[in-house]
């Protein structure tokens, strides 16, 4: 199933502004300040973080269920870091932090499943060009 996102930018880089829509119900505004100066609004890196967290959580849940340890819940936070490298904005790292409520599994098993999900989730694969993707996985 194809997924669709749309964005429009108006104006120059620093003074302009944009809007985006993802799917049927996600939309927002973004600007130079929201992306590079912690101003109000969203930015593309937040969308990447949300997509990565959602994909990873689903992949981990599926892997654990397939292994016979279905989850009660998996909550994942993703932090995407944007820095200037050689004068160009670059996503330099993504930090995943996941907490699971999974009856019947120990910490080592959960961490191993989480590493498998990190390697196998489609968004992780799409982001393979990011220099560093870290993972911290714990049971609640």
> Sheet of 17-22: strands edge to edge?
5-10, 17-22, 26-31
Q: Is the dihedral of CA 137, 104, 140, 71 positive or negative?
A: positive
Summarised one tens digit per residue, pLDDT across range 79-118 is 999 999 999 999 999 999 999 999 999 999 999 999 999 9
The structure tokens listed for 109 are: 């098993």
Question: For 38-52, what is the mean pLDDT?
Answer: 95
Q: Phi and psi dihedrals of 126, rounded to 5?
A: -65, -25
> Average per-residue pLDDT in the chain?
96
The reported pLDDT for the residue numbered 1 is 78
pLDDT per residue as tens digits for the range 54-71: 999 999 999 999 999 999
What's CA 110's distance to the chain center, in Å?
A: 20
Q: Quick one: pLDDT at residue 131? A: 92
Structure tokens given for 50: 């949300």
Separation CA 111–CA 136 (nearest Å): 8
pTM: 0.93
**Residue 46 pLDDT greater than 90, yes or no:** yes
Contact 28, 42 (CB under 8 A): yes
């Amino acid at each position: 199933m194809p997924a669709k996102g749309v964005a429009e930018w108006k104006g120059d880089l620093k003074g302009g502004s944009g809007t985006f829509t993802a799917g049927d119900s996600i939309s927002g505004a973004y600007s130079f300040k929201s992306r590079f100066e912690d101003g109000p609004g969203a930015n593309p890196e937040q969308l990447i973080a949300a997509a990565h967290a959602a994909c990873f959580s689903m992949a981990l849940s599926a892997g654990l269920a397939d292994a016979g340890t279905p989850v009660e819940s998996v909550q994942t936070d993703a932090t995407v870091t944007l820095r200037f490298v050689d004068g160009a904005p670059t996503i330099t790292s993504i930090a995943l932090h996941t907490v699971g409520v999974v009856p019947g599994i120990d910490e080592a098993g959960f961490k191993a499943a989480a590493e498998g999900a990190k390697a196998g989730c489609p968004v992780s694969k799409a982001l393979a060009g990011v220099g560093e993707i870290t993972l911290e996985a714990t049971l609640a």
